[in-house]
Amino acid sequence: MLLFHSFHNVAGVIDSINVNTIEKDSCWIISLQNISKDTVYIFDSYFKNNYYNTKSPLLYRYNKKERVCSINFLPIVPYLSPNKSDILVLGINSFGHIGQYSYNFTKLGPKDSLQVFICKKFDNRAYRDVDYKKYSKYSFGFEFRKTKLPKHYRLVSKFAVYKDVSILQSKDDFYYNEWLFNNQALSYDVLTAVLRE
């Protein structure tokens, strides 16, 4: 089965990125294409080799009011750092531990594109949606509160798009220019790809 599910532009800094979602039997293929003259950066720390197998429910966020479930690749800023920790946490719990993920980005220059493959297999577990931008580098207690998914809901995927990431990969700035680091970490715009209406 091959279905074109959505094609749209998004507003703001990312109004020059086209999003194209193709549904296949086992996965969705999301294509992000930069049609502007500027370079942008896609936060990609939570997927490997452009593929995400959806095993971790921690990236699933359900908004009960809007009946929307998001496969959320937005940065969980309190748990990110320029370098990974020497202590490795395995499995789905790695998202909720400091130092398990570093800031990584895919650079999209003019006319460049990125494809992300999202496997359809997941067990309908999710967590309550939160405003990711309310959680800064200094925050504690990022919310991981479980919730049940209803039978019918809209499914989307969210990506963080940055104009500048010059500070986010600097270990020195992480410690010595914390205010600037935190501001840049939260300076992303949200790109939404519709997977299922």
Question: Residue 33 and residue 40: Cα distance in Å, rounded?
Answer: 10
Strands 60-63 and 125-128, bridge-based pairing = parallel
CA separation for the pair 102, 77 (Å, rounded): 10
pTM, to two decimals: 0.84
- Comparing 39-53, 54-68, 141-155, the range with the smallest average pLDDT is 39-53
Looking from the CA of 160 toward its CB, the CA atoms found within 13 Å total 24
Rounded percentage of the chain residues whose pLDDT exceeds 70: 76
pLDDT at 99: 54
pLDDT at 188 over 70: yes
pLDDT at 125: 76
The closest alpha carbon to 20, from 107, 116, 108, belongs to: 116
- Region for residue 97 given its phi and psi (left: phi exceeds 0; alpha: psi -120 to 50; beta: otherwise): beta
Range of the domain at 85: 3-196
The secondary structure of 111-161 as a DSSP string is T-EEEEEEE----SEEEE---GGG--TT-------EEE--SS-EEEEEEEE
pLDDT at 20 over 50: yes
Backbone angles phi, psi at 151, to 5 degrees: -70, -35
The pLDDT tens digits of the residues spanning 151-183 come to 889 999 999 999 999 999 888 888 889 899 999
Task: Say if residues 74 and 190 touch (Cβ distance below 8 Å).
Answer: yes
For the chain, how many structural domains are there in total?
A: 1
What is the structure's pLDDT at 92?
52
Tokens encoding 123: 């067990």
With CA atoms as reference, report the closest residue to 19 among 29, 33, 4, 5: 33
Region of poorest pLDDT, from 28-42, 55-69, 152-166: 55-69
